[in-house]
A and B are shown apart, each in its own frame.
Chain A
Amino acid sequence: MGKALHAELQKARRRHDLLICLAVPVVVYLWAGAAVPTGADELANAYSALLFALPVLNAILLPIVMALIASRLWDMEVKGSTTKLLYTLQSRRSLFAGKALLGTGEVLLMVTLEMAVSILLGRVQGYTEAFPAGPFVYTGICTLAVDVMLFFSELLLMLIFDNPLPALCVGIVGALIGLFSAFMPPLVSYFVPWGYFVPLSCYEVSYWDQATHTVTYGLRPYNWGLLAFTVVLAAVLFAAAWRMMRDKEV
């Protein structure tokens, strides 16, 4: 497995995947940081507001980014028609393991950087709210789980069609449906895996003063059931992608 991962890392050398992993946190920083909290009451609720907004930003960005990562990993083999040659040199299992490990590693790096950016934003903008460590870790775990699930769904599409277009189309359409599901009744959002970031969020609007446009965010119970379902779905998609690679004729 180590050799397979090393080979994938060598293939990735001039692909600049790290730039993509870095681009997402930068976009999140700029987007989330654009609405600077000003008053004392906003600063006192700023981490809550940030962790409320973060899943919505993720629902827009990450389905497309997951399609991007999956297509970068597999499209090079499609373009170069390399699978026939590769399968004479390494087992299908090791090729899949290498791709899955590298993809998951890139997702992990991206989520870590995104969460780090949230802390940085709090420092730079001078949030006065006590840092919510528990909800912060929970948000990170949920983001990672949904990202991995979406990554394997996109990898599966890449393996089925040998063309990045269906994966990207599903990513774009999924992002749109996921975003809309965030504003639909909670039951609807359970049927839209691309938008799971939002129902998994542990923050909600607890008070909204329409006259003064004041919003206060509060905690809601962690959604362990949906998180467990997301992990199971990720495992199912991982298995389906592996079966597709194992059984596909070249």
Chain B
Amino acid sequence: MLKRCIIAENRKLHASPIWVIFFVLPLISAGYGTFNYLQNLEILTERWYSLWTQHTLFYSMLFFPAMVSAYAAYLWRLEHLGHNWNLIMAAPVRPFALFAAKLLVVVKLMCFTQCFVFVLYVACGRLFAGFSDWPPMSIVFYLVRGIFGGLAVAAVQLLLAMLIRSFAVPIFLGLVGGIAGMLIGSKGYALLWPYCLMQQGMNANHSTDVLAGNVLPFLLACAGWLAVVLLTAKVLLEKTDVKA
């Protein structure tokens, strides 16, 4: 059942305008990051790490939540049209499978985005910054951690997009969540807010690892937030009536 739901969700992505944002946002981020790195070589001296901070600073803090929000809102949009809620709730699948399938598809998109960010980062480093070596393995580690942190963001955004019938409002809330995450993270409470987790995982504004020795609490926070959101979605889908 879950597999069929995933296939249905994947179909929504065919020739979807969502791919524009998928390609354009990391490209702009990489272009600007490389330009800024090359303009400030006297301050940014840690080569691959410095380039990484320039590539991912704004991306991970502000635009990643907005992008994931757009992915999530797009996948729920069809359900909010007409009487489609009645239709899907009458389908022979567990209601939670609908949510789980959407989450898996958003996570797939998120993984693709992270890979694209990495490809652009390596290409810019080799072609424009003139590095002859390859980036350190820790950058791959940051990217994977970013995906773990992004899981909570994706789940929260899917929950918001499920509850709010408007397409645009969850995206705005995603942006606000990212800004709040920036402020909460700067106060040292990063693990208490899901939108901080991606920022922490990506290590976007530090050349030294901000999570050194604290990976376990970070992973526990990711798992905890994910569990809370999944449980909430399950209860809402299975215990409350839909408004079609």
Chain A interface (Cβ < 8 Å from any Cβ of B)? 15, 20, 23, 27, 30-31, 34, 60-61, 64-65, 67-68, 71-72, 75, 79, 163-166, 168-169, 172-173, 175-177, 179-180, 183-184
Query: Which residues of B are found within 8 Å of A179, using beta-carbon distances?
Result: 58, 62
Asked if B17 and A68 make an inter-chain contact with CB atoms under 8 angstroms apart, the answer reads no
Complex: chain B residue closest to A30, CB-CB:
B183
Asked if B168 and A172 make an inter-chain contact with CB atoms under 8 angstroms apart, the answer reads no
Which of A60, A67, A72 is most buried by chain B, counting CB atoms within 10 A of its CB? A60
Q: Binary interface profile of B, 152-190, with partner A (CB < 8 Å = 1, else 0)? A: 000000000000001111011001100110010010000
Counting contact residues on chain B (CB < 8 A from A), the size range is 35 or more
Asked if B62 and A60 make an inter-chain contact with CB atoms under 8 angstroms apart, the answer reads yes
Chain B interface (Cβ < 8 Å from any Cβ of A)? 16-18, 20-21, 24-25, 28-29, 32, 35-36, 58, 62-63, 66-67, 70, 73-74, 77, 80-82, 166-169, 171-172, 175-176, 179-180, 183, 186
Complex: chain B residue closest to A65, CB-CB:
B172
Of B35, B63, B81, the residue contacting A172 (CB under 8 A) is B63
With A20-B172, A30-B183, A165-B18 known as contacts, the answer to whether A176 contacts B25 (CB < 8 A) is yes
Of B63, B81, B168, the residue contacting A168 (CB under 8 A) is B168
Query: Which residues of B are found within 8 Å of A60, using beta-carbon distances?
Result: 62, 175, 179
Tell me what chain B mostly uses at the interface: helix, strand, loop, or mixed: helix
Asked if A168 and B167 make an inter-chain contact with CB atoms under 8 angstroms apart, the answer reads yes
In the bound complex, CA of A61 to CA of B25 (Å): 16
Asked if A75 and B58 make an inter-chain contact with CB atoms under 8 angstroms apart, the answer reads no
In the bound complex, CA of A238 to CA of B20 (Å): 26
Query: Which residues of B are found within 8 Å of A172, using beta-carbon distances?
Result: 21, 25, 63, 66-67, 70, 171
Asked if A169 and B179 make an inter-chain contact with CB atoms under 8 angstroms apart, the answer reads no
Query: Which residues of B are found within 8 Å of A23, using beta-carbon distances?
Result: 172, 176
Query: Which residues of A are found within 8 Å of B25, using beta-carbon distances?
Result: 172-173, 176
Of B17, B58, B180, the residue contacting A176 (CB under 8 A) is B58
Which of A79, A172, A175 is most buried by chain B, counting CB atoms within 10 A of its CB? A172
Of B24, B29, B169, B179, the residue contacting A27 (CB under 8 A) is B179
Of A65, A71, A177, A183, the residue contacting B167 (CB under 8 A) is A71
Query: Which residues of B are found within 8 Å of A168, using beta-carbon distances?
Result: 70, 73, 167-168, 171
Query: Which residues of A are found within 8 Å of B172, using beta-carbon distances?
Result: 20, 23, 64-65, 68
With A79-B81, A165-B74 known as contacts, the answer to whether A61 contacts B175 (CB < 8 A) is yes
In the bound complex, CA of A179 to CA of B166 (Å): 26
Query: Which residues of B are found within 8 Å of A61, using beta-carbon distances?
Result: 175, 179
Asked if A64 and B66 make an inter-chain contact with CB atoms under 8 angstroms apart, the answer reads yes
